[in-house]
Structure formats: C-alpha cells, structure tokens
Amino acid sequence: MSDLRQFSLFINGAFCAPVDGIFFDSIDPATGHPWARIPAAGEQDVNRAVAAARSAFEQGDWASMTRSQRGRLLYRLADLIEQHAPELAELETRDTGKIIRETTAQTAYAAEFYRYYAGLADKEEGAVLPIDKAEMEVFTRREPLGVVAAIVPWNSQLFLSAVKLGPALAAGNTVVLKASEEGPAPLLKFAELIREVGFPPGVVNIITGFGEPCGRALTSHPDIARVAFTGGPEAARHVVANTANNFAVTTLELGGKSPVLVFEDADQTNALNAVMAGIFGASGQSCVAGSRLFVQKPLFESFTAKLADRANRIRIGDPMAMETEMGPLATERQRAKIEAAVAATVSAGGRLLVGGSRPSGREKGWYYQPTILACDDPALPTMAEEMFGPVLSVMPFTDEADAVAKANDSKFGLAAGLFTNSVGRTHRLSRKIRSGILWVNTYRAVSPVAPFGGFGHSGFGREGGMEAMRDYTRPKTVWINCSDEPMPDPFVMR
C-alpha cells in the first residue's frame, strides 16, 4: 500500500487531505491492480471548498480584476497545459485506460479551449436600450453568477473541464470542480498548474469523491449559483433534485446513442474510417460514440463485411504503447454490463459479426473485443441502451424516410453522423435528424468555437462557443434618471 501514489484535494489554493481522512484506491484498468490513493471529499470538505470560492468571488484580487487580467491568466494556463500535456496524458492513461496517443493529443488540444475563452474574457458587451420613457438612460451589463459547481466524468476529463472552467472563469465566476471517483488523478495533478498560473486562492478548487456525500453536498449547497454537469442520466436526476434546494442554473450534458447513416452514394472508405473512429476510438467510451449504424440496403452486406474485417484487425494492447489502437475499458463494472447486454442481444436474435468476448492473452485488466452485431429489432439491448464501450449495432434501411425514422427512434439526441455525396439530402436530413450535433462525412470533430449538447435524455444546455460564456452570466438592467426634476408625487393623480 505504501508504494501507491497519493493525491490530495485542492482547496483555497492549497493541497490538503480530506477532513475525515478517507482515501480510496484507484485501479489501473490495464492491470486490474491499485496504483494510487485518492482523497474522498466529505461534506466538510465541500463546505470548505464552496466557502473559499464564495470568498474569492466576493472580495480580494479576483473580485477586483479586470476582464483583460482574467484573460491573461487563462492564456498562461493554456501554455502550461501544453507544456505538461505528456505528463497529464500519462496520468490519464494510467488511471482510465485510454490509449496514450489519444490522451496526449486531446490534452494538448484542451489548451485551445482556454485560449478561446481567454480571448473572449474582455469581449462581452452590454447595450444601451432605446427606452420609451423620456429623460431615462437605460443600459444592460452582464455579470458573473457566483460559485459554479463543475462536475465531470472520468472520460475526456481535461477536455470536459476546459469547456466548463474556460467560460466560467472568463466570465468572472469561481469554481469548485468535482472530478469523478473513477480516474480522477489527472485533474488532481492539473491543480498544480492552477496554482502555478497564479489564480488567487479559492478561484478554482478541485475535489473528488463519491455521489454521496460529495456530489449531493456540492449540488445542493445554498451558495452554488450554477451547476455544469457531464455524466449519466441516472446521476443527472439526483443533480436536478438537489438543485431544487438552491435554484442553481443547471446544464446537463448526458449520454448518447448516436446514429450514423451511410447512404449508397457515400464515399465508402471515408464512411468506414469514420464509423471506426466513432465507435472504437476511446474504446467506445464517449458520449458521442456512433453506436447505432444504419446502412442503405444495397450496401449493407458489403459494408458490414469490410467493417467487421477492419474491427477484427484492431491492435488491442497496453494503453501506454504508441502502437496500441484500443485499450481496456475503464472499470470492471462497465465490462460486466457490456457482456450482459451483448449476451442478451444475441439471445434475442442479434447476429454477432465480430468480437463479443474478452480478447485472448489479456487476462489482466478490463479488456473487451471490438464487437459488431447485426440487429433486426430496435428494442434489442445493444441497439437501445448506451453501452459506453466498443459495441456497434447495425441495421439496414431502405430510403431517407426509413433512415430518419430509425435514427430518431431513441430517447437520446446528442450526436449523429450522415454519409452521403448528395448536397440536397444533406440539407433535407439536417433539418429532420434530431440531435444536438450532426457530422456530415466526418465524425468526432470538435472545436472551442462550436457549441455542443443534446436533446431529450442527452440533456439540455450547450458547452463550447460564445453562447456558453453568456450562460455563466446574467444580465443586469441599469436605469438612470437624467432629469434634474424630482420624480412626481406618486399619490398625486394627473
């Protein structure tokens, strides 16, 4: 136990142990063995973090900073993230099992989100209103909300933190960032960069812990003004219930069961590569994973055969090795869920095209093969439920109307992919497919400039883009009476 690396909470600019002294083991998904000790924040730790954030928001250096000064801190943070990207990526790979080449690239790109919001920090403007009352000057200004609770899952956590911290800090808020209890090490290390940048104490606090008591105490805290949550629908229901106590502004970025439509006229090589990236990138552990594939009937057999052949040749291995194309799942619990769903789908009539079991030679760790199932019923488990793993369900369609009906037959609505060379079809279907993101002839592209979010059980609110920063502020209307005359007596009728 003494060989395990130990991490700390980051509260009010200092690293500290949880008040209750409780730590838990973080498991290396590639080996199935503990590698680190993680602090479990309790209610007292949450209270300390929120109090520090509130104090920093209301008084001191952060409260008196100009917007340009806040932007300069964010620029400096972006530079540090780039410099430390290899170290942060190695921690993320060790803690979550995501392959090293993906975590390295994704961590470095997260810096661009901080640069984007650094540039926006002093661009927010108010407006003078053409009011209908003489002698009145009326204008609006946008002001920060206060203390933000930012809650991120284990997957893509540095990126998902950036899309919350970037706009929240640029707008002048302070933040308590809760890392997932699954794989939180990179964010606890990230706290060192926050301190090195020179953010005043309390502006950013980073804690980790379980839903009870940590998550519940944070999202229901009376001093929390906004909750930005990324995670699953079940946890989101608790978040929504908790915010009934503080009426915090809330955004939810939840799960997905994203459809990918491949028409007969599509560039098959491009579509094949995109489908592979969409479902087997990050071992399928992505909210935008393209886990439902619909292929036009004349193309169905040949396309799925090529897909199965390519999936069968994916190099599964040590996530720290640069040649590895797919690593393990993050938790043993998730692998068990996937195994049960695949077995239930096959039992109910699904046809296994490739995979469906643990890879040979990988007895240690939470590995699972890339899996493709042909399904003739949209209610089959792997077709209807979010797998959050390398499991693709495929089904043929006949025409545009059939494709749209199948794509929209889901409670989720986060992302979708469309592959066609028809410009007209692209525009027609972009209006009909119900999703917050539609990728046409590409997949998994992101940018700090582009907002993302979903419909239905995929949540509400948007992250990324200019609108996200506005969501971390509220307008204030200022009325100025420019007349030298006193207001009329309110009890004298004229």
Which residues have a catalytic role annotated? 253
The per-residue DSSP string of 11-57 comes to: ETTEEE--TT--EEEEEETTTTEEEEEEE---HHHHHHHHHHHHHHH
Does a cis peptide bond (omega within 30 degrees of 0) precede residue 213? Answer: yes
Are 53 and 65 in contact by the 8 Å Cβ rule? The answer is no
Both structure tokens of 470? 């506005």
**Would you give the DSSP letter of residue 361?**
T
Both structure tokens of 142? 């946008």
Both structure tokens of 118? 């650094």
Both structure tokens of 244? 């009934």
Environment class of 70 (CB within 10 Å of its CB; exposed 0-12, middle 13-18, buried 19+): buried
Are 371 and 352 in contact by the 8 Å Cβ rule? The answer is yes
In 348-464, alpha helices (H): 381-384, 400-407, 423-432
Both structure tokens of 251? 């955004």
Helix axes 297-312, 268-280, angle to 10 degrees: 50
| Phi, psi of 190, rounded to the nearest 5 degrees | -55, -30
CA atoms within 13 A on the CB side of 2: 0
Query: Nearest CA to 258 among 460, 375, 371, 410?
Result: 410
Please give the Cα distance from 183 to 187 (Å, whole number).
9
CA atoms within 13 A on the CB side of 217: 21
The per-residue DSSP string of 131-168 comes to: -SSTTEEEEEEEEE-SEEEEE--STTHHHHHHHHHHHH
